[in-house]
Amino acid sequence: MAIPTPLTTVFTPPSECLSTIFWSSGGQYQLGYSTECIPSGPAPSLSSYFSPGLYCPESYTVACTDLVILGATSTETQAVCCPRLDGIASGRFADASFRCNTDRAMPWYSSLGCTMNFGTAATEGPITVLYTRSSTTYTTTYSAATTDGLNAYSVKIAWRASDLTQSSTGSATASESSIGSASNLPDATADSASVTSSSATSGSSTTPPSGAAGSAADGGLSTSAKIAIGITIPVAIIALIIVGLLVIRRKKRAAHMTDPGVEISSNPVYEKDTTFTSDLGSEQTSEVDSRMVGGLQELPGHVWR
């Protein structure tokens, strides 16, 4: 397994990489003409990354992050850096931003990890693009639709909490002196980010995740402590709920056992059905009497003469 290439300094791409739209022979429009626009190292791909990667390139910002579980107690944050669009002439894309490319059906998905739609920028007139034919570069204009896309090379970086060693005051330690101040390092609290965000366009271009949680120089709780708190609190709440349910259930059971209801004997004595006996006796008596009365006959008188 290849050892990842570290990225511990700020890479500055050529200015044309951030200001010119190129048309590629592959049929896509992209910002940046070649891999010269990104740091040398792993091939541009969403599956390869710099590690430890402590900086996005100049004029790049984090488009999405992901928390990777490496073991029982070890995690690694991976982030995809995409170029900002405020360098394009006329500033028509200043309010737009790249997002992470998730459309695997596109042939350039594996190498151009940043994508966006032209949106309202397409309604402001033709877009100037460059293309190369027979080793000659030409300039032309392109009338884009709002749904047309623009792509760019991404730079994927990864870091662990141990890569962000710093003192309790937030200043850089000796081990960080070669890579800049702690305020320019990735935010240790970004370890909790596990969702894609296409709106991360603000903040320093040399700061990987800088989000609302604060920077690594905040001097707050460590990543491990925050993870422990995040796990312990929900577990404690669940335990309290279970104990409460058990107490309620025990009280209900005790109330049921002391209920002075009708006690059912284990040897029940069934009462004789007087109605049935009375009816039966009456019917039998009636039948016997009727037969006896109806059966009496007067003896003939000549028998005694």
pTM of the predicted structure, to 2 decimals: 0.54
Specify the 3-state DSSP secondary structure of 222. Answer: coil
Q: Which of 75-89, 107-121, 231-245, 275-289 has the lowest mean pLDDT?
A: 275-289
Q: What digits encode the pLDDT tens for the residues 201-226?
A: 332 222 333 332 333 334 444 555 55
Task: Decide if pLDDT at 160 tops 70.
Answer: yes
Instruction: Provide the pLDDT confidence category of residue 77 given band limits of 50, 70 and 90.
Output: very high
Please, which residues have CB within 8 angstroms of residue 191's CB and are 6 or more apart in sequence?
67, 75, 77, 161, 223, 226, 227
pLDDT at 41 over 90: no
What the block records as the tokens of 5 is 């290439």
> What is the chain's mean pLDDT, rounded?
67
Torsion of CA 139, 141, 147, 149, to 10 degrees: 10
